[in-house]
Structure 1
Amino acid sequence: MGDRVSHPGTPAWRYAIGMFGTSIPINLIKGSMILFYVDILGLDVRAYGVVMVIYAVIDALDNPLLGHLSDRTRSRFGRRRPWLVVGAPMLAACMIAFFSAPTTLEGMGLVVWFAVFAILCEAFDSLLNANYGALLPELYPRERDRSVANSLRQGFQLVALVISLAVTPLLTTQVFGTETTTEGFQTTAIIYGVIATAVIVFMALSARENPRYSTRSPLLPSLWSIIRNPTFWTVGVVGSLYGVAMALVLSGVQLYVRYSLGLPVANALYLQGLVILIAGGGLAVWTRVIVRRGALWTWRLAFAVLAAGFAALFFATDLVTALAAGVLLGAGWSGMLATNDLIVARVLDADAARHGEHREGLFLSAFGFFARLNGIFGGLALTSLGVFFGYNSGADPGPDPGLAFRVYLCVYPFVLTAIGAIAARFVSVPLEPPPEAAEPAEEEHTR
């Protein structure tokens, strides 16, 4: 019994299914926002880039506060559950509004609508993920148990991605709408919002939190101790290279299919679907590698495979060659899904062991600062397409939008992940501590 999860009462599958609920809304938003606002509604890419930078800055500032409030919450329902139950319907409502922009909006009116609901969606998504992610190291202290729970939740995330990314183009442009209208996006957002809310609440009500983990540390001293942690910076910066690369993929794959491959947007279903299936099937393999070689060694290997996948995708000329490259891309992505959160969790374990209190919410929100780079780099990357290739919007695509989105989807992510693969060789993380080391010293208990 010594290898079983030391914090009983939360089945791994029920915790893991929460990832399905948290993934559907944000991936619908990130996967369709450029197509919806830039290509269909005609939002200028320069305005898009400015909004992305602003929203990234706002999100970087509010994330630590949200995580800190979660850590300090004391209620009979726990620290994380109240935020999850309240945040889920709020994110769903903002997502529906995001895809309900009136088609009569133009100019500054369209920019304001886009900015307001993009910022609100990202804020509620951050709230949900900080609380959901904080439960992983608390509920599953041992890396073996944690890797299983993490692989399960990444599997649920991939199922959500099949729906929110691969199936979405079919739903929005053929089932509920057309290639040039917006009605399909609104209907799809309503359906996804209801599903996501139900799943997140179902998961949250089952989470058995440890009341001993509540903390009362002030915000600024806690934040300062995190900022002074060198591992926070090395893991955060290198991990952000992977995050930015995948954010570019999520936001640009539909337009890559349209312009670079010269196919209807609905064909994104096949490319995204294959990549997701390969990633899902590979999770069990990568988990076995983690058990044998450790999370850090496996993380470094996955980075290199992912970079090779982006290089292969650049040379694809039709759906068949894109699918072939997608196999390698999916394998690398699967490895990153299986390992990246485990690397972060090691840092959280070491912090809890060192300071004698659990600040997972604040720590993950601080890591979220690096995730906010996704918006900044995404906005700059899209703006660069106007500068270098003349792509300003769907109404003004420039002379070679195919090359523009080949660079956006392949070249930029390859450079980022190649740097990450090299930098990961120089990253070290704390050894896995025994679960007892993370318990508050004044409230030790036996198992």
Structure 2
Amino acid sequence: MAHPGTASAPGRTPAWRYAIGMLGTSIPINMIKGSMILFYVDILGLDVRAYGAVMVVYAVIDAIDNPLLGHLSDRTRSRFGRRRPWLLVGAPMLVACMIAFFSAPTSLQGMGLLLWFAVFAILCEAFDSMLNANYGALLPELYPRERDRAVANGLRQGFQLVALVISLAATPLLTTSVFGTEDSTQGFQITAIIYGAVALVVIVFMALGARENPRYSTRERPPLLRSVWSIVRDRMFWTVGLTGACYGMAMAFVLSGIQLYVRYSLGLPVGNALYLQGIVILVSAGGLVVWTGVVARRGALWTWRLAFAVLAVSFAALFFATDLGTAIAAGVLVGAGWSGMLATNDLIVARVLDADAARNGEHREGLFLSAFGFFGRLNGIVTGLALTSLGVFFGYNSGDDPGTDPGLAFRVYLCVYPFVLTAIGAVAARFISVPLETPTDPPPPDPVAGSTDPSSPDPVAGAEESASSGPVDGSGVERPR
């Protein structure tokens, strides 16, 4: 029987019920990121310099609103929980903005086209941030132990890959052949409406089934400035965040450039991106099972480092592809490295969140994940500047002015830039240290065992991790081998 003033423990949320939410949150934003350059630059004729400028502004705005959204989520107190209200509000708003994003009138030109792109790109990213800050915050709360967390994360990444099959691999075919043509925009609008309906149903289904821990809502509401200052002083926030950003930025290049890589570098119709994207996603789906098994044996940190190295090598292989067959062969390696990062990157971040909760006695997953989202906002700046560089170095300014060698331009965009980023990340990961697995809400100390520190790590979990991942010291931090 619960003591007065305390909330009873919630029932367990089935891992699949939580994980399926990734299908809904991934479909809209991946269609947007995967098709925005093709739609606005190559078809509607938006100049890449204007595109790059918008992406810089959009990233700055998003870096500001992300911590605020996460903080508001942490402070929310309602009978529906902290995260679910934001998920139920954010889902229809994101869907509406995505449909508007791909409904730009073909008559728009110049400043009118630029403003339409800027407004709806920023709104889509803001509502996507609202969804993902809250959805991501549920992972460490619903599944405190890393073994359970790894299973739930593996399942949700599997659903993300299904979403990518829909939003990336199938989109070029649907927009250019089924509902539209290579040079029209009608197919994008119809596809966006269909994807939006699917995403809305899935997110609502997940949110209504998530059983948040009411104990987290009974604690003191953390003030914004003090919380932000505490996070920015955390060394692990910067080391893990910047290293993970190398992976995130590399995949942002892939999402935004693969259709134009197929068109210009391989000299094929955009619809052929279906086959290249499809093989990458299928390999990633199968690889999740393998990588999750490696995590169970060697730990998340060791596996994360290995996956980084594999991903870096894969981009080097993709650079030398000359046709669809060789590109697909390189794509197998890309899928292998990518699935390793999907299986491990969020586990590394969750360790940092666990350590923060244990150290400060406050569950600030929403704010902390939104602060980590700051590094994700670098994606927009970097991809915008990289696209602008194609105009400087190769003369590619838009679909109306592609320059003399757009094939080399997008080979550099899709392969060279991601290779440099992931190579840096692979080296940096070798020097990263993360906390041992620590339950976010340890049970009261056992007087027989003589434990007096309620925030001390679980000795069983600590022994398992130190044996599987790497040596540790007295600070409770896993050290690099």
Structure-1-length-normalised TM-score: 0.96
Alpha-carbon distance in structure 2 between the residues aligned to 1:412 and 1:22:
27
From 40, 51, 54, the counterpart of 2:54 = 51
> Which residue number corresponds to residue 380 of structure 1?
385
> Which residue number corresponds to residue 3 of structure 1?
none
Give the C-alpha shift of residue 435 in structure 1.
Answer: 4.3
Give the C-alpha shift of residue 169 in structure 1.
Answer: 0.2
For structure 2, the 5+ residue unaligned runs are: 1-8, 445-452, 455-481
Q: Secondary structure of the residue that 1:141 maps to in structure 2?
A: coil
Alpha-carbon distance in structure 1 between the residues aligned to 2:48 and 2:438:
47
Query: Are 1:71 and 2:47 an aligned pair?
Result: no
From 130, 133, 137, the counterpart of 2:133 = 130
Q: Once the two structures are superposed, what CA deviation does each residue of 1:222-263 show, in whole Å capped at 9, x if it has no partner?
A: 010000000000000000000000001000000000000000
Alpha-carbon distance in structure 2 between the residues aligned to 1:170 and 1:50:
30
Alpha-carbon distance in structure 2 between the residues aligned to 1:231 and 1:263:
44
Using CA pairs below 8 Å that are at least 6 residues apart, which structure has the higher relative contact order? 1
> Which residue number corresponds to residue 195 of structure 1?
198
Alignment of 1:93-108 (within 5 A): 93-108=96-111
Query: Are 1:431 and 2:463 an aligned pair?
Result: no
Alignment of 1:15-414 (within 5 A): 15-214=18-217, 215-414=220-419
> Is the contact made by 1:357 and 1:438 (CA closer than 8 Å) also made in structure 2?
no
Q: Secondary structure of the residue that 2:369 maps to in structure 1?
A: helix
Alpha-carbon distance in structure 2 between the residues aligned to 1:217 and 1:422:
36
Alpha-carbon distance in structure 1 between the residues aligned to 2:394 and 2:439:
54
Give the C-alpha shift of residue 9 in structure 1.
Answer: 2.5
> Is the contact made by 1:25 and 1:164 (CA closer than 8 Å) also made in structure 2?
yes
Give the C-alpha shift of residue 357 in structure 1.
Answer: 1.2
Give the C-alpha shift of residue 300 in structure 1.
Answer: 0.1
Q: Once the two structures are superposed, what CA deviation does each residue of 1:293-339 show, in whole Å capped at 9, x if it has no partner?
A: 00000000000000011000000000000000001110000000000
Q: Once the two structures are superposed, what CA deviation does each residue of 1:143-164 show, in whole Å capped at 9, x if it has no partner?
A: 0000000000000000000000
For this pair of structures, how many residues does the alignment match? 436
Q: Identity of counterpart residues, as a percentage?
A: 83
Instruction: Return the letter of the residue paired with 1:64.
Output: P
Instruction: Return the letter of the residue paired with 1:325.
Output: A
Give the C-alpha shift of residue 35 in structure 1.
Answer: 0.2
Q: Once the two structures are superposed, what CA deviation does each residue of 1:328-368 show, in whole Å capped at 9, x if it has no partner?
A: 11000000000000000000000000011100000000000
Q: Secondary structure of the residue that 1:205 maps to in structure 2?
A: helix
> Is the contact made by 2:354 and 2:439 (CA closer than 8 Å) also made in structure 1?
no
Alpha-carbon distance in structure 1 between the residues aligned to 2:355 and 2:185:
48
Instruction: Return the letter of the residue paired with 1:169.
Output: P
Structure-2-length-normalised TM-score: 0.90
Give the C-alpha shift of residue 8 in structure 1.
Answer: 3.6
Alpha-carbon distance in structure 2 between the residues aligned to 1:438 and 1:331:
39
> Is the contact made by 1:44 and 1:392 (CA closer than 8 Å) also made in structure 2?
yes
For structure 1, the 5+ residue unaligned runs are: 1-5, 443-447
Give the C-alpha shift of residue 211 in structure 1.
Answer: 1.4
> Which residue number corresponds to residue 445 of structure 1?
none
Instruction: Return the letter of the residue paired with 2:312.
Output: A
Q: Once the two structures are superposed, what CA deviation does each residue of 1:404-447 show, in whole Å capped at 9, x if it has no partner?
A: 000000000000000000000000100101343499x99xxxxx
> Is the contact made by 1:352 and 1:438 (CA closer than 8 Å) also made in structure 2?
no
